[in-house]
Amino acid sequence: MPTLSVGVIGLREGGVMAAVERFEILIKGQGSHAAYPQEGQDLILASAAIVQNLQQIVSRNISPLRAAVVYVTHIEAGNTWNVLPNNARLEGTIRTFDNEIRSLTKRRFSQIIEATAKVYDVELGIKWLMEADLTFNDFELTDVIRKRTEQWHDKVVYPEPSSAGEDFANYQKQAPSVFAFIGSNEQGASGLHFADMVVQDETLKVAVDYYLESAQQLLEHFK
């Protein structure tokens, strides 16, 4: 985990990583020459309005004491300078830490986009391309593993929950589980999903030791 220093192990019970949605918004309308904008719909302006209006979900609909992320990270529309396009595509993500906020956020997301589409007289479709549940560490297992880890390793921390997501949560639906963070950060190191991210050799050694020690402890605890 690049947010933790090399050699550090992060363990906490409960929610550790956010539930994740990946969305795609497809907008369609009548294109036109830029010299005659009245003959078509402005999909670029509609896209900009959607991006701006979605920001009110976090600022107006969710308590500041609770967390959510709603972000459009990719926009495509048109391919030249003097034509209003007839298609636009937006992609982005929603991140939440409990089911109530997750449901509220997705409901307001759809309401805001549909209302904005009506204002700009465009057609749209919403696709949910990926969903991952909250990564949730079992309280008993985490306590057992944390106590064992602190016996053999002197760099164990209680990390803040991460708004990153992890499809390991799908395994957690099948059995109680623990997801740990193994630190890999060095000064100037890149973060997750960057092409130049490098995992240090020491990180791999700590990870292997952690898995071996944890497996042995669980076998002893539940025998």
* Per-residue model confidence as pLDDT tens digits over 157-211: 999 998 888 888 988 889 999 999 998 877 666 667 777 677 778 889 999 999 9
> What pLDDT shows up at residue 57?
96
| Alpha-carbon dihedral sign for residues 23, 77, 84, 50 | positive
Using one digit for the tens of pLDDT, what is the confidence trace for 77-117? 999 999 999 999 999 999 999 889 999 999 999 999 999 99
Cβ burial, residue 145 (10 Å; 0-12/13-18/19+): buried
Q: 37-84: per-residue pLDDT in tens?
A: 999 999 999 999 999 999 999 999 999 988 899 999 999 999 999 999
The rounded Cα 45 to chain-centroid distance in angstroms is: 27
Q: Which residue has the tokens 């985990």?
A: 1
Is residue 48 helix, strand or coil? helix
Sign of CA dihedral 29, 34, 37, 43: positive
Q: Indicate the DSSP class of residue 37.
A: G
Query: For residue 170, what pLDDT is reported?
Result: 87
- Among residues 40, 21, 130, which one has the least CA distance to residue 87? 40
Residue type, 31: G
pLDDT tens for each residue of 1-50: 777 888 899 999 999 999 999 999 999 999 999 999 999 999 999 999 99
Per CATH, the number for 19-132 is 3.30.70.360
- d(Cα 138, Cα 177) in Å, to the nearest integer? 6
- Domains of the chain by residue range: 9-17+135-221, 19-132
Contacts of 18 (CB under 8 A, 6+ apart): 67, 69, 95, 96, 97, 134, 135, 161, 162, 163, 164, 165
Q: DSSP 3-state assignment of 18?
A: coil
Q: Which two tokens mark 54?
A: 């979605």
Helix, strand, coil shares, percent, the chain, to 5: 35, 25, 35
221 pLDDT more than 90: no
pLDDT value at 222 more than 90? no
Does the pTM exceed 0.85?
Answer: no
The count of C-alpha atoms lying within 13 angstroms of the C-alpha of 51, restricted to the half-sphere facing its C-beta, is: 17
Question: Do the domains 19-132 and 9-17+135-221 match in fold?
Answer: no
In whole angstroms, what is the distance from residue 47 CA to residue 69 CA? 19
CATH number of 9-17+135-221: 1.10.150
